[in-house]
Amino acid sequence: MTQSNHDTAWDLLKASIMSFNGSPIGTVAARDTIKQELNYDQVFVRDFAVSAYAYLLADESEIVANFLLEMVRLQRTSRQFDCFEPGEGLMPASFKVEEVDGEQRIIADYGERAIARVPPVDSGFWWLLLLHAYVQSTGDRALAERADVQNAIRILLDLYLSERFDMFPTILVSDGSFMIDRRMGVYGYPFDVQALFFASLKAVAQLLVDSDENKEYITATRTRMDHLAYHIRTYYWLDLEQLNHIYRYDVEEYGEHTANIFNIYPETIPGWLIDWIPETGGYFAGNIGPARMDYRYFAHGNLMAIISGLATDEQAQAFMELLRARWDDLVGHMPLKLVFPALQDRDWAIITGMDPKNRAWSYHNGGNWPSLVWLLAAACVCTGAFDILQRALDDLGPRLSRDNWPEYYDGQYGRLVGREARVLQTWSIAGFLVAEHLAEHPQSLERIGFASSGSHTVAGKCQVPA
């Protein structure tokens, strides 16, 4: 990208800032003046996270600090036994600033206004990751060690580590409660959420101060992190060797010493996967539960697993081999495809509830999301796969700028601007700026809290295309 386009991207990102009482507090989801209905004029936590990384890498941390502290103030701290209220500890999915009687106030959405009324399971995760990134980037541990911030961490852990009717270290969540915020058959233990969970626990281990009040939380965090890592690496990983094991599974096993603990039937292996998975590549499956494995590939969770250290070195390298071998399917003309393959025909009708926005190869159902390029860049830095990052940046070229920074792309290879995509989408802009920075300065990954997460890192550098 030319210097002119780089400067334009930064101008657009700064134009997206939302202020509260004269101070920057976040960035709106999109500045599409034609399609500004719904809630794209709000600050979404998961969207702002990408902007926050861009600002931290540019040594502009004020907006991030303000956001972090405002989220503490917005966190739910009580519940009046009302089943229609969000639980204690929950952080909002989004918020906006309104003026009432000449005074500004913040209106937060915990899911009670969302489509299908689904609370966000991931907002607290992103807050923890940003808090860790802020400390890493600025050295300002005093903010993280404030009493209100430490308390916010504890009540988040109360929410995420609470006892449930469950026997696994993974988090049981409903459909639509994270980035994939519409019905897509991801209920249960979706991998995207588990990878965020692990990354957040790792951040918490470095954020909690050593005190009597935190002692039990520190122990619980480290224990859950270890158990979660074992569970994910053992049961979610898919490569040709593991596929052969599943293909030859015995079923209806009973007792403590069973190989097929989830009772997965070999007949559930989809036909497309058998010849699609390469000899040396692999990825983490989308979901697993009783008699169910979701064999779909989800980009967000797999990339987060690499940069957080959830994936082993071997798994991280195998995933990069998968990208090389199946580039058209998983990257295409616009990095990066969110889910592969898309649900089609009767599967689409039943699983998505006939959601027209999530028709095949669109939006969450096989669409391509430019915002994910920052995660791809971070994973490439961790694994030394600079050839992949270079190719992604070369393919991106001036297209995002020419298309006015849309939210997502449609088509099996991401060649069409999404039919309902907003333009001037903030995390599309920020995602590219972060990727561009990491390509030029791979060592900066430490500044946003990820380089020391795993042992995949190999030195290298990309040339940002002109």
DSSP state of 188: B
The whole-angstrom separation of Cα 113 and Cα 230 is 37
279 closest CA partner among 227, 308, 244, 329: 244
Structure token digits, residue 309:
């250290």
CB atoms within 10 A of CB 423: 18
Over residues 203-253, the pLDDT tens digits come to: 999 999 999 999 999 999 999 999 999 999 999 999 999 999 999 999 998
8 Å CB contact between 18 and 106: no
Q: What is the pLDDT of residue 457?
A: 46
Q: What is the pLDDT of residue 463?
A: 52
* From 129-143, 227-241, 413-427, 451-465, the region with the lowest mean pLDDT: 451-465
Q: Nearest 5 degrees, angle CA 159-CA 163-CA 168?
A: 105
Q: At what angle do helices 215-235 and 191-207 cross, to 10 degrees?
A: 150
DSSP state of 372: G
Structure token digits, residue 361:
């190869």
Q: What is the pLDDT of residue 35?
A: 53
Q: What is the pLDDT of residue 2?
A: 63
The whole-angstrom separation of Cα 307 and Cα 453 is 7
Q: What is the pLDDT of residue 80?
A: 64
Write the DSSP assignment of 180-235 as a string of letters: S-S-SS--BS-HHHHHHHHHHHHHHHHHS-SSTTTHHHHHHHHHHHHHHHHHHHHH
8 Å CB contact between 149 and 184: no
What value does the mean pLDDT take over residues 425-442?
Answer: 96
* End-to-end Cα separation, the chain, in angstroms: 5
Q: Which helix (H) or strand (E) holds 74?
A: helix 62-74
8 Å CB contact between 150 and 214: yes
Which residues sit opposite 285 in a β-bridge? 297
- Band of pLDDT at residue 454, cut at 50, 70 and 90: very low
Sheet strand arrangement including 94-100: 43-44, 94-100, 103-109
Q: Is the pLDDT of residue 1 over 60?
A: no
Over residues 261-287, the pLDDT tens digits come to: 999 999 999 999 999 999 999 999 999
Amino acid at the residue 324: R
What value does the mean pLDDT take over residues 324-340?
Answer: 96
Phi and psi, residue 123, nearest 5°: -65, -40
Question: In the chain, what's the furthest Cα-to-Cα distance?
Answer: 69
Q: What is the pLDDT of residue 381?
A: 97
Query: Across all residues in the chain, what is the average pLDDT?
Result: 92
8 Å CB contact between 182 and 116: yes
The whole-angstrom separation of Cα 279 and Cα 456 is 21
8 Å CB contact between 231 and 155: no
The whole-angstrom separation of Cα 229 and Cα 305 is 10
% of residues, the chain, pLDDT over 90: 83
8 Å CB contact between 432 and 363: no
User: Parallel, antiparallel, or unpaired: how do β-strands 103-109 and 17-20 relate?
Assistant: unpaired
Q: How far is CA 135 from CA 20, 56, 124, 127, 264, in A?
A: 23, 10, 17, 12, 43
HSE-up of residue 414 (Cα within 13 Å, Cβ side): 32
Write the DSSP assignment of 386-426 as a string of letters: HHHHHHHHHHHTTHHHHTT--S-EESTTS-EE-TT--SSBH
Flag whether the pTM goes above 0.85. yes
Q: Is the pLDDT of residue 455 over 70?
A: no
Structure token digits, residue 141:
């541990």
* From 47-56, 113-122, 238-247, 273-282, the region with the lowest mean pLDDT: 113-122
Q: What is the pLDDT of residue 134?
A: 98
The whole-angstrom separation of Cα 116 and Cα 137 is 37
Looking up tokens 């309104």 gives 98
Q: How far is CA 268 from CA 291, 296, 340, in A?
A: 9, 12, 17
The whole-angstrom separation of Cα 87 and Cα 82 is 9
Q: What is the pLDDT of residue 33?
A: 63
The whole-angstrom separation of Cα 53 and Cα 59 is 10
List strand residue ranges (DSSP E) for 205-342, in order.
Answer: 237-239, 282-289, 292-298, 339-340
